[in-house]
Amino acid sequence: MTLIKSISGIRGTIGGTPGDALTPIDLVKLTAAYSQWLKENTAAAEGRRLRVVVGRDARISGEMVSDIVEGTLMASGVDVIAIGLASTPTTEMAVTGHGADGGIILTASHNPKQWNALKLLNRQGEFLDAAEGARVLEIAETEAYVFPEIDGIGSVVVRESYDRQHIDAVLALPLVDVEAVRAARFKVVVDAVNSVGGVVMPALLREMGVEVVELNCTPDGRFAHNPEPIPEHLTEIAALVPASGADLGVVVDPDVDRLALVNEDGTMFGEEYTLVAVADYVLSQTPGNTVSNLSSSRALADVTARYGGSYAAAAVGEVNVVTRMRETGAVIGGEGNGGVIYPALHSGRDALVGVALLLTYLAKTGRRKLSELRATYPAYHISKNRIDLVPGTDVDAVLAKMKAKYASERVNDIDGVKIDFPTEWVHLRKSNTEPIIRIYAESRDRAAADALANRIMADIRSLL
């Protein structure tokens, strides 16, 4: 059994021993701690009761986890806005839409069915930063929370979906041209891995006049394949797109914050290129700056330069990308795992806005073949590797030595060590939960990326 506490939330496997898995006891402690943190940080404890939005993906444990979390919030004196089955971006938007003080998203994202998680939001509908998350964990570990007496308990003040509001907000964006998409008469296969994307994504597409072929769109949490949207898990949709005569395929993870695309011939568009394509369209209409994390493809920087903008890199983690976007005034940003952040809508990864902008771009350019759009971007390949270390290894010392070894190159150390060579790069990051170093290397083709990764791994091993 596993319980992992990180900047992206508290996640764990269901069942097992308290403290070693995401058990009911752990759910109560963490929810009570979050409630206490809200009370400490909400100036408007001005005599009114705090309100928190709760949304969940469709995984099997979702109802059980939701019941415990909602009950604990009420026991903590917090009113609940329960939006039920909802994507992560829908829940984020519901926080600001309802004027709530925070939100809890119950989702383990791309992790398998035995996992669930609490992702914690502030009143802006954005993830807590590292210091805020650390404070919540400190409260939980010390049990420094107090439950009110009977007259102070909360209640469920709203119990209704927020999908309609999310869809309407996407369709109302100036850069989303519903009529152009409707006139293009696209046919799209949607694989939502039997989670909440199976409800909201087909609904959005049909509003845009798209013919939808549903694949794994029953929101029962019984994932039809490994839910991480990477090529080896997408063989079914890769076959169905050309067999059904569709223009493209759309794949989302269980909480709909990652977007992968399948070309009309069944080949993969490349998850790294989802953000690149959407940014291409946004920048063509509203030139400006972009941001992605250090492990994302250089292709975004290339496209940004084409439109005269500046690209900036952020540490890995959505909250870090959002912070850097705000600092640089970026008009579009995200992560190379298919996460599109379009601040004109909200500051969170959102597959719905990604699809709407992409289809508008295709419609306006008259392209029917997604593969043709992909061919217009620089061809890069990322090689993803890891080195397992002996427990107790001083990883920071190893990374410092690698930074010194390559000091003549462009080095960024805000999150591990990233070394930018003229035509390729490598990013070294330590894990916060296990003794490993992750090595991501990008170059012009697979062989060159693998060769770079192997060279760097040999350097690391020589330092151990």
321, 327, 329, 330 alpha-carbon torsion, rounded to 10°: -20
Contacts 24+ apart (CB under 8 A), 13-17: 13/114, 13/115, 14/61, 14/65, 14/114, 14/115, 14/116, 15/114
Q: Give the span between the Cα atoms of 187 and 409, in whole angstroms.
A: 47
Cβ-contact 339, 110 below 8 angstroms: no
Residue 67, Cβ neighbours under 10 Å: how many? 12
Q: Closest Cα partner for 403 from 395, 412, 394? A: 412
Cβ burial of 39 (10 Å; 0-12, 13-18, 19+) is middle
Is residue 109 flagged as an active site residue? yes
The 3-state secondary structure of 192-226 reads CCCCCHHHHHHHHHHHCCCEEEEECCCCCCCCCCC
Q: Residue 335, SS3?
A: strand
Question: The tokens of 383 are what?
Answer: 């090689």
DSSP 8-state code for residue 14: B
- At 442, the amino acid letter reads E
DSSP 8-state code for residue 15: S
Pairing state of beta strands 290-293 and 311-314? parallel
Q: Closest Cα partner for 241 from 268, 217, 258, 263? A: 263
Residue 409, Cβ neighbours under 10 Å: how many? 14
DSSP 8-state code for residue 310: -
Number of Cα atoms under 13 Å in the Cβ half of residue 268: 18
Spot the catalytic one: 61, 76, 109, 443: 109
Q: Give the span between the Cα atoms of 53 and 358, in whole angstroms.
A: 29
Provide the terminal-to-terminal Cα distance of the chain, rounded to the nearest Å.
Answer: 30
Catalytic positions, written as ranges = 109
